[in-house]
Chains A and B, each alone.
Chain A
Amino acid sequence: MAGVVSERFYRLILAHPLWVIAAIATLTVFLGWQARRVELNSSIEAFFPEGHPAVTQDHEIKQVFDSRELILVALLNEDGVFNPRTLTKVRDLTQEIWGLAVATDRDAQRLEAWADRLGPPYQRPIQGILEDGLGASDRGPVNNLWIAIEEADIDSVNAGFRTFVDELRLKLSPVSDVISLAQVDNITATESGLDVHPPMSSVPESGDELAALTATVFENEMFVNGLVSEDSTGTVILVELSFYYDDHIDLAHALFRELEALASPYEGPEEVHLAGVPMVNVYTTKYMGGDLARLMPLVIVLVIVVMWFAFRTIKGALIPLAVVLVSIVWTLGVMAMVGRPLTLMTSVMPIILVAIGIADGIHVITEYQLKWARHRDRDQAIVATMRAMGAPVIFTSLTDMAGFGSLAISSVASIRDFGIFTSVGVLAALIFSLTFIPAMLKLMEPPHGRSLVTAGGRVTQFLERIGQIAIQHRRWVVIATVAASAVAALMLPRIQVGSRMVGYFKTRSKIVQASELINERFGGTEVLNVVIDTGRPDGLKEPEVLSKMAALQDSLEARVLVGYTTSLADYVRRIHYVMNNADPAFNRIPFEREQVLETDWQEVDGMEIEIEREVNVNGRDLIAQYLLLYENAGGDDILKLANFDYSKANVVAQIRTDHTPHLREVRQTAIDFAQREFAPDADVSFAGCSNLCIVADDLIIPSQLKSLGLALVVIAILLVLIFGSVRRGLFGLLPLVVTILMVFALLAAFGIFLDAVTALIASIVLGIGIDYSVHFLWRYETAHAKGGSVDAAVRETIVTSGRAIVFNSLAVATGFLVLLVSSFWPVIHIGWMVAGSMLIAAALALVLLPALLGIETRKAPNGQGEVI
């Protein structure tokens, strides 16, 4: 099988080295140019494959209740927020946020270009829009432009223009709703009657006015923990986006920059904090970019250092480095071309490609140094090197691709991307190694005389010792391995699944502080939507349904981590209370039958007198009338809590943590309650970021097990094919199976939660670690084929291949240790765990394989270890 790639191929390359390099450089420049468009996305939706039912349902529910992601702007003042200065800030911020627009000069230029291109029908309105620049004051005219496009014949409007104007509308009004003390429905009974107005229509100045406002706010339990903190040291402005984060990431980031810029002048002595799921996404993306910018140079420097130690030549280091850099550029280019984003998972990929790509380079250069020493002829040495190394390089690439490629069956989109694109990177490194390296070697000065084998005398001695020991004590090696595996297997049930959003940040960044503060003082930053579908129009007007909704809220709020809930039931209870002269006895959902006092006039002795009598009325009618009254009073906040025909309700729970095991408990509370109280009359489903996080968790374990199983099977088949022996194939796999068991045992031992990121560790270890077995066994076969004893063949293998394995595992481990400076906990875990596992895998390859080969030989009848 040695001639996998024929000698003619290399001769061709050696005849035209410059052409090869030029071709690869062109391709690299092209893909590099594509790569600049690669997008960073850290939203939870990016976890899911396109069209996943959980995401579809989430979007449907959001549409039914016209709700989109919220940003929380918290104003904190240790002396209390009920003072004219802080309240003025609340009012001004509310207004300024409404006025936010993120259109740029570039948008204005593009609009002008469209006007020139489209001519008369749109030219005049566009000129009007552009007259005094592009800003919030152009919302009306731009909307009118949109209406004109919408009402025009669809074929007559340029699709690009349509999209541009639609996007421009969002840029001019990126915020669809702002809720604050200055802008929220407060249902009250005043001297003039029932009223629905914000509690603060103007900023109070006198002490009396301030006291009155404080009383008003705290009198309405719907505000406490929702809009103001219980201790009145903080108040929140809720900002609803007019678009879905996932659809307009650039726009979202522009909005958040503006929001931060807008909020900062309001600091002091008040603290202003921005939090909420979209903000977490923004910060994750920001830190991901920072990680890449920091880790890449670091990993490159480290690789150069390690290579220098291995080869004592900078040139020797540059070639493997070129391999990895080019494979990264190609991979990112392909990702951009197929429109997949970099996520927290795929952002680790470049580092992994460095670790893997470097291996091919190391093996080839090591071999070249040996061959040069023997042939002293450049062409001959190169061809000999490539003939010797071509096969193992191709085989290891295939096993890598099998290891990572098996993740392509994952149901988590970003894990799938990770698998697919890491495979693409491995393939790129392979192509590059087989073409660019020989071409470069041809052009470069051959290495200095210092041969590698003599350079590492002590390492060689050490390796020989290990080989001897492993073969001599092979039984003990096997027993120890089995024992360790058994212990590891016992740990497996202790692995916990759970992920976070904010909790992933290592640093105490602004978003972490903001989220913590808001979780401390308000209802919580995470949202779980519990959707109750009665299946019948006006179902929500039934007293029983509303009472159960209120009870559901109570059972949710009984959980410490649920800080605030709201639903239609709150509004009905509030109106019932207010309509009954704020009598605490009526601070509840109306009963099925209510007794009310009816006033009437009767003629008694020719005089009209007012008489009162008690009558029974229907609670359902009461609720219907309250809702009509609320609508008529201009209230529209309930549109987010009930659908148009009052068949579906949205119960919103705010949760003070982002850790999925806790979110799951909250959701379970709702599920249990629903099964007890609502089934079978009403269906309960879930939406919101919390639910998506839980569902994402559920996807991880089964799909990781499937991927891992698939990878093991595919790699086993590959090994059997490569070595032409089932037993050899299984030998090769065994060190990795043990290593993976160790990985999971480490997760359990350190209490590290298995999430979409840490779940990758096993696949990474398998993909990279299998190389060691392949190299070792391949070299062993070659050595053994030359004749001689098994012991001699093992010894030769261990000093050549074993040496490369040691350096490779050190290089890979060092590369992964770079991840320790990442800003995200799961990435840090990948760093040290893969580094550790690589050493375990290398050690097992060096110890377990000789031991197994030894046992195999002793059992073989002719004592020569001829294998099946």
Chain B
Amino acid sequence: MKKQLALFGLAVPLLAAPAIAQVPPTGREVMETHKMQDRTQDTEAEIRMTIISARGGTRERDIVMWTKTRSDDTQMQLIRFQSPADVEGTGFLSIENLGREDDNWLYLPALRKTRRIAGADKRDSFVGTDFSFEDLEPERLDSYEYRLAGSEIVEKSETWVVEATPTDPKKIEETAYGGRQLWIDKKNGVMRRSEFYGRDGTFLKRLNAEDVRPVPGTDKWRAYRLTMEDILGGSRTVLEISSYHIDEGVPEEYFTQRYLRRR
């Protein structure tokens, strides 16, 4: 795996702009700017998911996703389906716990019931899309080793290219990836692209972030369109975010079973 990434790295001219006598940042430093950009107290996002199969069939789903980060950096997340009509109101609630299994609940409106569900495997597909649960998690800087591999232009933006290799034993066990290559916008720390490699070095998926702009009323930049491609399988999933609401104070009670049950 390392060999593979190193090989990719060679294609990138190291230390691209020595004209300005500036010391380039380390991989970790780049990721810290990303983390700064990414971190919020809470976020509400309205998302249209379009799943396009390799044979061209499409499925569209609209969801709203609320996340809240607690002081210990653990997350609570509520996802509610808006459409198609037959799954409207279906909800998934997950609460990350330090040191023990996460709690996951599901609400099926047609059954009028919440059910605890077994902790989803982080490698599993997120509601049938090409994203897995781990792809949507915030970056945990302490679980990876980051190496600056150069700089590149992505969609007219200058980016740092960073290679991320999992080092934390727990992470190594639960992740599907042997490594990732990340393109971080030099200007604002937004992730513009990532490529995911399997444990055996197979190039699995590519995520492209487009339509990156500031979220009105905040100092945060966000991609309003994310496309995940399954390289070998040929399917892809497009997430179009119609709105982000950042740090507007998502109530704590959203992340309760009782709220989950309320449609």
B90 pairs with A625, CB closer than 8 A = yes
Asked if A810 is an interface residue, CB under 8 A from chain B, the answer is no
Instruction: Give the bracket for the number of chain A residues in contact with chain B.
Output: 35 or more
- Separation of A109 and B106 alpha carbons in the complex (Å): 54
A625 pairs with B111, CB closer than 8 A = yes
23 contacts between A and B (CB under 8 A): A128-B4, A140-B1, A140-B197, A140-B201, A140-B203, A192-B119, A194-B118, A195-B117, A195-B118, A197-B118, A597-B112, A599-B113, A601-B258, A617-B111, A618-B110, A620-B86, A624-B110, A625-B87, A625-B108, A631-B125, A633-B120, A634-B121, A644-B57
A598 pairs with B112, CB closer than 8 A = yes
Asked if A645 is an interface residue, CB under 8 A from chain B, the answer is yes
Contact with A along B36-78 (1 / 0, CB 8 A): 0000000000000000010101010000000000000000000
Query: With A634-B121, A644-B59 given, is the CB distance from A622 to B232 under 8 Å?
Result: no
B87 pairs with A621, CB closer than 8 A = yes
B47 shortest CB reach to chain A, Å: 15
Which residues of B, 196-235, contact A by the 8 Å Cβ criterion?
197-198, 200-203, 231-232
Q: Which residues of B contact A599 (CB under 8 A)?
A: 112-113, 261
Asked if B146 is an interface residue, CB under 8 A from chain A, the answer is no
B198 pairs with A140, CB closer than 8 A = yes
Chain B residue nearest to A196 in the complex (CB):
B118
Query: With A193-B117, A644-B55 given, is the CB distance from A596 to B200 under 8 Å?
Result: no
- Separation of A193 and B81 alpha carbons in the complex (Å): 21
Q: Which residues of B contact A601 (CB under 8 A)?
A: 258
B110 pairs with A621, CB closer than 8 A = yes
Q: Which residues of B contact A619 (CB under 8 A)?
A: 110
Q: Which residues of A contact B203 (CB under 8 A)?
A: 140, 143-144, 147
Within the complex, which residue of B53, B110, B116, B124 is in contact with A622, where a contact is CB–CB below 8 Å? B110
B109 pairs with A634, CB closer than 8 A = no
Q: Which residues of A contact B104 (CB under 8 A)?
A: 193
- Separation of A128 and B116 alpha carbons in the complex (Å): 47
Within the complex, which residue of B119, B127, B231 is in contact with A628, where a contact is CB–CB below 8 Å? B127
Asked if B183 is an interface residue, CB under 8 A from chain A, the answer is no
Query: With A628-B127, A644-B59 given, is the CB distance from A193 to B116 under 8 Å?
Result: yes
A137 pairs with B200, CB closer than 8 A = yes
- Separation of A522 and B209 alpha carbons in the complex (Å): 50
B128 pairs with A628, CB closer than 8 A = yes
B110 pairs with A632, CB closer than 8 A = no
- Separation of A620 and B90 alpha carbons in the complex (Å): 14
A803 shortest CB reach to chain B, Å: 69
B106 pairs with A629, CB closer than 8 A = yes
- Separation of A620 and B87 alpha carbons in the complex (Å): 10
B36 shortest CB reach to chain A, Å: 32
B201 pairs with A622, CB closer than 8 A = no
Q: Which residues of A contact B231 (CB under 8 A)?
A: 147
B86 pairs with A617, CB closer than 8 A = no
Asked if B3 is an interface residue, CB under 8 A from chain A, the answer is yes
A628 pairs with B111, CB closer than 8 A = no
- Greatest chain A CB density within 10 A among B53, B92, B106 is at B106
Query: With A128-B7, A617-B110, A644-B57 given, is the CB distance from A632 to B115 under 8 Å?
Result: no
B201 pairs with A538, CB closer than 8 A = no
Q: Which residues of B contact A636 (CB under 8 A)?
A: 125
A residues whose Cβ falls under 8 Å from a Cβ of B = 63-64, 124-125, 128, 137, 139-141, 143-144, 147, 190, 192-195, 197, 538, 541, 579, 594, 596-599, 601, 615, 617-622, 624-626, 628-629, 631-634, 636, 643-645
Beyond known contacts A192-B116, A632-B106: 14 more, CB 8 A cutoff: A140-B4, A143-B202, A144-B202, A193-B116, A194-B118, A195-B117, A195-B118, A579-B115, A598-B112, A617-B109, A617-B112, A625-B87, A629-B108, A629-B117
Query: With A128-B7, A193-B104 given, is the CB distance from A625 to B110 under 8 Å?
Result: yes
Query: With A124-B7, A625-B87, A625-B90 given, is the CB distance from A140 to B200 under 8 Å?
Result: yes
Query: With A193-B118, A194-B117, A579-B115 given, is the CB distance from A625 to B200 under 8 Å?
Result: no
Which residues of B, 1-25, contact A by the 8 Å Cβ criterion?
1, 3-4, 7
Chain B residue nearest to A188 in the complex (CB):
B118
Per the CB 8 Å criterion, the residue count for chain B at the interface is: 47
A644 pairs with B106, CB closer than 8 A = no
A622 pairs with B202, CB closer than 8 A = no
Q: Which residues of A contact B112 (CB under 8 A)?
A: 596-599, 615, 617
A632 pairs with B202, CB closer than 8 A = no
B121 pairs with A643, CB closer than 8 A = no
Contact with A along B76-88 (1 / 0, CB 8 A): 0000010011110
- Separation of A622 and B197 alpha carbons in the complex (Å): 37
Chain B residue nearest to A189 in the complex (CB):
B115
A634 pairs with B124, CB closer than 8 A = yes
B202 pairs with A140, CB closer than 8 A = yes
Chain A residue nearest to B8 in the complex (CB):
A144
Within the complex, which residue of A128, A139, A197, A541 is in contact with B86, where a contact is CB–CB below 8 Å? A541
- Separation of A617 and B201 alpha carbons in the complex (Å): 48
Chain A residue nearest to B108 in the complex (CB):
A625
Q: Which residues of A contact B111 (CB under 8 A)?
A: 579, 596, 617, 622, 625
A145 shortest CB reach to chain B, Å: 10
- Separation of A597 and B57 alpha carbons in the complex (Å): 37
- Separation of A633 and B7 alpha carbons in the complex (Å): 36
B86 pairs with A147, CB closer than 8 A = no
Chain B residue nearest to A597 in the complex (CB):
B112
Chain B residue nearest to A630 in the complex (CB):
B128
A575 shortest CB reach to chain B, Å: 10
- Separation of A538 and B124 alpha carbons in the complex (Å): 24
- Separation of A625 and B84 alpha carbons in the complex (Å): 10
Query: With A128-B7, A634-B120, A644-B59 given, is the CB distance from A625 to B109 under 8 Å?
Result: yes
Chain B residue nearest to A541 in the complex (CB):
B86
Query: With A622-B111, A625-B86 given, is the CB distance from A634 to B125 under 8 Å?
Result: yes
